[in-house]
Amino acid sequence: MSQILVFAEQRDSKLKSYALEAISEGRRLADAAGGSLSVCVIGGGVSDLATTVAGYGADKIFMADDAGLSTYSPGSYAKILADALGASSASVVLLSSSAMGRELGALLAAKADASLLSDVIETRWEGDHIVVKRPVYAGKAFLKIAAKRAPVVVTLRPNVFPAVEKAGQGAVETLAVSEDSKVTITDTSLKASTRPELTEASIIVAGGRAMGGPENYKIIEELADTLGAAVAASRASVDAGWRPHADQVGQTGKTVSPNLYIACGISGAIQHLAGMNSSKCIVAINTDPEAPIFKVADYGIVADLFEVVPALNEAAKELLA
């Protein structure tokens, strides 16, 4: 009855942290309805991932492992995922709200004539229907939406759902490789960085307009490195050319939900809040006690970030050693 299918995103044969979150949420939904969980893994040299996928609760693993799939191909991946959907007879398909997950989710939804619910932050059963919660209007409201027709495709916001290890049967079924090369990825360049990627980071240190210039981000980077955090920027500092757009958090940038978000010299415009207000703990450092960022912050220091950030770095080094 209640079969769940999860697409487990990987790059370079490494599962994304949000893939494990999606598998765990799939397991939870399957258990709640007495159903089973299938997970689809697509790539080149990815067969070894079956052990991990089973370790997070997959009953069945649809595996498409082929050298030709090493580079992401939207068309081929979507076709294979549609085959997995057919073979699993799933009523709910979960992916992540990542670049790949959003694209594949929409391609799959069109193929399967299914509705797509994106950037979901909560899922549960109400009777036979899956009901989800998702933010709209820059997080100023939430919608509760019921899927009336199966299948339904859902993308989950990264870093919101817990990844929980739980042994599943992990029976592997090999899927035939379908090719669709209407769209070709001709180059993928991943930045070599010692810092975590923004959407997966559990701690983020962000600098805004008050940074005053690109050279001043050094203190943000130093604090980030002490905490093992990612570095982010507000729209103002990206538009000023101090940081790349890839670092931007907010409505016209990335949406993040880390455990800890430290906003330094960020006033907290609604556009910025839209990208980070689902963070579990928010710290604001700003000279203006009336800045809107303090309205969403759990902790605040009203002071000059150029004094506070280095002091935080020193305190963190000392207290977290």
Partner 1 sequence: MKIVVCVKQVPDTETKVVIGSDGLSIDPGEVKYVMNPYDEYAVEEALKLKEAAGEGEVIILTVAGEEAQPAMRTAMAMGADSGVLLKAENAALADGLSVAKALVEEIKTLDADLVMAGKMAIDGYGHQVGTLLGELLDMPVLPTAKSLDIADGVATITRDIEGGKETVTAKLPCVITAEKGLNEPRYPALRGIMQAKRKPLEIKDITLADAGVEILEMSYPPKKPDGRIVGEGPEAAAELIKLLRDEAQVL
Q: What are the φ and ψ backbone dihedral angles of 101, each rounded to 5 degrees?
A: -65, -40
Q: Give me the residue label for tokens 């899956």.
A: 130
**72-111 residues near partner 1, rule: CB under 8 A:** 72, 74-75, 78, 97-100, 102-103, 105-107, 109-111
Q: What are the φ and ψ backbone dihedral angles of 85, each rounded to 5 degrees?
A: -65, -45
Contact status, residue 294 vs residue 274, Cβ threshold 8 Å: no
Minimum distance, C-beta of residue 130 to partner 1, in the bound complex (Å): 10
**How many Å apart are CA 61 and CA 79, to the nearest integer?**
16
**129-168 residues near partner 1, rule: CB under 8 A:** 131, 134-149, 152, 155
Minimum distance, C-beta of residue 168 to partner 1, in the bound complex (Å): 26
DSSP string covering 222-272: HHHHHHT-EEEE-HHHHHTTSS-GGGBBSTTSB----SEEEEES----HHH
Residue 34 or residue 182: which is nearer to partner 1 going by CB? 182
Among 127, 176, 189, 215, binds partner 1 (CB under 8 A): 189
What is the Rg, in whole angstroms, of the alpha carbon atoms belonging to the chain? 21
**184 touching partner 1, by CB under 8 A:** yes
Q: At what angle do helices 74-88 and 99-112 cross, to 10 degrees?
A: 60
**18-47 residues near partner 1, rule: CB under 8 A:** none
Contact status, residue 235 vs residue 252, Cβ threshold 8 Å: yes
Minimum distance, C-beta of residue 196 to partner 1, in the bound complex (Å): 9
Among 122, 197, 221, 225, binds partner 1 (CB under 8 A): 197
Residue 176 or residue 190: which is nearer to partner 1 going by CB? 190
Q: Is 144 left (phi over 0), alpha (psi -120 to 50) or beta?
A: beta
Q: Which residues are within 8 A (CB) of 314 and not within 5 positions of it... i.e. 6 or more apart?
A: none
**194 touching partner 1, by CB under 8 A:** no
Could you give the string, one character per residue 2-21, with x where binding to partner 1 holds by CB under 8 A and - elsewhere? Answer: ---------x----x-----
**252-281 residues near partner 1, rule: CB under 8 A:** 252-253, 259-260, 270-271, 274, 277, 280-281
**208-247 residues near partner 1, rule: CB under 8 A:** 227, 245-246
Minimum distance, C-beta of residue 161 to partner 1, in the bound complex (Å): 17
**108-127 residues near partner 1, rule: CB under 8 A:** 109-111, 113-119
